[in-house]
Chain A
Amino acid sequence: MTSDTPRHPKSQDEIAAILDSIADGVFTVDREFVITSFNRAAEAITGFSVGEALGQHCYNIFRTSVCQDGCVLAQSIRTGKPVTGFEVNILDRDNNEVPISISTSLLVDGDGQPVGGVETFRDLTAVHQLLEEIRRRHTLHDLVSKNAAMQQVFAMVTDVAASDAAVVIEGETGTGKGLLARAIHQESARRVAPFIQVNCGALPDSLLESELFGHVPGAFTDARSERKGRFELADGGTLFLDEIGDTSPAMQVKLLRMLQEGVFEPVGSSETRSADVRVIAATHRDLQRLVDTGVFRSDLFYRINTVRLAIPPLRERREDIPLLVDHFVARFNELTGRGLTGKRVSGISGEAMRALLRHSWPGNVRELEHAVEHSFVLVKGSQINLAHLPPEVTGSVPPQADPASTEGRCNILDGAERQAIESTLARHGWNKAAACRELGLSRTTLWRKMKRLGIRLKN
């Protein structure tokens, strides 16, 4: 042997020393799955000493959920093919769950005859903690987003929650205004008291007044007993007034009095009552414009508009779609795991994700949630494919290239441009001159864009 020729280690001690120097856990088994070597990193990760592990069946030391049914090492030994990067959870000596990534391969002797298997494994605890930290940064209670505008909103929530200032949340239907209001409540000192929600747009004036302020017996037909209003029920907590932009001028006056003076009278009563309530209002309409047009009282607007939070529509934060899909898949997995359907979905195919990224999502996050739920109903295997998505999602835009590619991005931009032009034209009764003025385009440019995007004038 020359000095520059690598010397092959021969003795057990030399091999053990080499294995011990490796940062990953390494162990070998014979054909009976009895552990024949166990390095130092394996001791650290599992908590079992080499003395305890040697001579034991590997399943008694690692105790993963696949040990008894679907052992990866057994698969490698049986097929002779290595497996890499398979993630499992082990239970360590102290019975703590430890996520690991394992790689396995067949072990052969000098004659090429199989003598057992070798497995290397890496502790993923730190990686999982890091992923959890990233997830935490993109999550605020039930809200999930990595969009810059949403991150600004998330950052404001803690400060907003610490104060008792009135808040207005603006955003299209389905963007999560209710979830944001609930997050503010949960972050505030009022979290121990009730969070009460009222949809002002869903009730006629008379019913809304009774709903908000309560009524006394005989206040109206069928009012046989006293009923507390939402303001009283929310005493000490938060009242969320959804769709406040849809309230009538008469109701706006009553709301203003309650917000200014903190007092109200139940319907049919002259008794003045008070409640300590923090009000969060929300609307899908542009309140400032409603004030300008005289539909919404300016004094009420300024009373509730101490802090204004705007949630962008989903089409303006498409980067959140994969994150939201993961969130909903995890949630529906949890629901189905409780025995509703017994289904377990691991993820979504690239083709299906591209369809989701292309869709314009007029119903925003709520529509996406329903699309995922729809897929859960139809999916047979462990992956959501294009066929499992609702037809309005898959049929909205013809199949196009990967949105991550230049072509894909162009398609997304085209979609947005088409939508902007179509909505402007619709707003102006398909009057091109008026649409041109609003869009700041010449008639020729608008005509050219309409031709390229395939927009046809409607009668």
Chain B
Amino acid sequence: MKTAIALFGDEVSPRFGCAREMLVVTHAEGLCTERSVVNVDNVAPGRLAALLASLGVTEVICGGIHHRFIDDLRARGVCVTWGVIGPFEDALEARLADRLETNQIMTARRCRRRRERLRRGAAPMELDDPKETERNSP
């Protein structure tokens, strides 16, 4: 089975149609047998579903996705798990373990700590290195 995950850095892309790369993973019985990154930067949005279907992808994991993409993918026999937030490796791990659901937030440990601090009303963590800030900006 082939699963494509829309990428944005080391996270699942927040919007399928804006993803520049897709991680295509071949897996069976919870084990990954092959993985490759497909550059889709120059693929017209209207051609994305056809491209993935031609690669043999039967499942897409992404963040938000426009309904027209869902319709197009489903028409080509590709199912979509959307609304996934967080590191793509965590999303893949959850998928291989058959634990991934629509609208699932894959909260990383660092993110959990940050959230707890914010809930307590403490000042958010700040990066002192401006280069690091630039690198992280969307």
- A residues adjacent to B (C-beta < 8 A): 12, 30-34, 36, 51-52, 54-60, 62-65, 67-69, 71, 74, 77-78, 91, 93, 95, 97, 115-116, 338-339
Contact = CB atoms under 8 A, between A and B. Distances in A.
Interface residues of B, number: 39
Given A36-B118, A56-B111, A68-B14, A95 B83 contact: yes
Contacts, number: 93
B117 to A, nearest CB: 8
A116 B83 CA distance: 26
Nearest to B17: A65
A91 B64 contact: yes
Given A59-B138, A74-B138, A93-B83, A30 B124 contact: yes
A115 B46 contact: no
Given A32-B127, A56-B85, A60-B14, A91 B66 contact: yes
A49 to B, nearest CB: 11
Nearest to B108: A55
B33 interface: no
A244 to B, nearest CB: 43
Contacts of B8: 59, 68
Contacts of A115: 126
A309 B48 CA distance: 47
B44 interface: yes
B88 interface: no
Interface of B: 8, 11, 13-15, 17-20, 44, 46, 63-67, 70, 82-83, 85-86, 103, 105, 107, 111-112, 114-115, 118-119, 121, 124-127, 133, 136-138
6 contacts: A30-B126, A36-B124, A52-B105, A60-B63, A67-B138, A68-B18
Nearest to B132: A32
Given A54-B119, A65-B17, A95-B82, A30 B125 contact: yes
Nearest to A73: B138
Contacts of B114: 34, 55
Given A60-B86, A95-B82, 14 more contacts: A31-B126, A33-B138, A34-B124, A51-B119, A55-B111, A55-B118, A57-B11, A59-B8, A60-B11, A60-B63, A60-B85, A67-B18, A95-B70, A115-B126
A71 B121 CA distance: 27
B73 to A, nearest CB: 13
B127 A31 contact: yes
Which residue of B82, B112, B121, B124 has the most chain A CB atoms within 10 A of its CB atom?
Answer: B124
Contact of B121 (A12, A77, A116): A12
A63 B15 contact: yes
A58 B133 CA distance: 14
A262 B11 CA distance: 70
Nearest to B119: A54
B64 A63 contact: yes
A64 B63 CA distance: 11
A223 to B, nearest CB: 46
A117 B35 CA distance: 38
B98 to A, nearest CB: 22
Which residue of B46, B70, B82, B114 has the most chain A CB atoms within 10 A of its CB atom?
Answer: B114
Contacts of A339: 44, 46
A67 B124 contact: no
